[in-house]
Each structure stands twice: as structure tokens, then as C-alpha cells.
Amino acid sequence: MYIPKVGYLGVGEVCGEPAPFREAVVGDGSVRLAEQQLVGNYRHVGDETDPDMAEYVLPVRWLKTLDRRDSVTAKGIFALQRPMCRLSNAATLAILNAEFFPERTTT
């Protein structure tokens, strides 16, 4: 997970299929996300009647997350202006692996 002007705050893996916001479930799969009380200034947008304009949710299993103050950033690091994407940039992957999973790094 990347936040623009802050840095990387989490590494996770997709663990399910995307679902429209109104159909997405959380927790053990029995509670709809749309029925949860949202915290912060987020507001749901989109047109649920048009699949091309609907807002979708992608379930993620977080492998490791950091506090905002501990974000990972470095000069030249790949930074797409979206919160999530599949990374393939070798230099960025090396930096993130070293920061998020130092126990995996060999010397």
C-alpha cells in the first residue's frame, strides 16, 4: 500500500475476487462492507447500476503494515499514484523486501 507524499505503509497479497462495494463482505464473510460505519472522511461514490462505473473492493491479506511515521520511501523508488498495484520494479522490490522483511534478507 502506497500513500502519495508519504510512502509505502503495507505489503499484502490479494486473497479473493473483486466485488462491487454494495456486495463486498468483510471479516468472516458474513458482514457487508456497505453496512459498516465508515471512519474518516471517506465517502462512497460510483453508480451501482452501471458495472463500468461501480466502485469495487479487492480483498487483501496484509503481510506487514507500518505506522504512517515509519513509511518506506527512498530516492528513485517506484511510486504509482494509486494506493495498490502489482510491483515489478526490481530496485523497488529490493528496498521494500529489506524494509518490510529484514529477516529474509541475506548478506
User: What does the pLDDT profile of the chain (107 residues) look like in tens digits?
Assistant: 888 889 999 999 988 898 888 889 988 888 888 888 877 766 666 677 787 788 888 888 999 999 999 999 888 888 777 767 788 889 989 999 998 998 886 65
Domain holding 52, by residue range, is 17-57
CB atoms within 10 A of CB 33: 17
Distance CA 7, CA 30 (A): 33
Q: How far is CA 15 from CA 67, 76, 83, in A?
A: 23, 30, 17
Same domain, 71 and 107: yes
- Looking at the fold, whether 103 and 75 belong to one and the same domain comes out as yes
Residue 77 included in any domain: yes
- Asked whether residue 62 is assigned to any structural domain, the reply reads no
Q: What is the pLDDT of residue 69?
A: 94
The verdict on residue 90 lying in a domain is yes
* Confidence at residue 36, expressed as pLDDT on a 0 to 100 scale: 85
For residues 45 and 24, state if they share a domain. Answer: yes
Its pTM surpasses 0.85: no
Does 24 lie in the same domain as 10? no
CA distance to 4, 37, 39, 56, per residue, from 84 (Å): 11, 23, 20, 13
The predicted structure's pLDDT at residue 68:
93
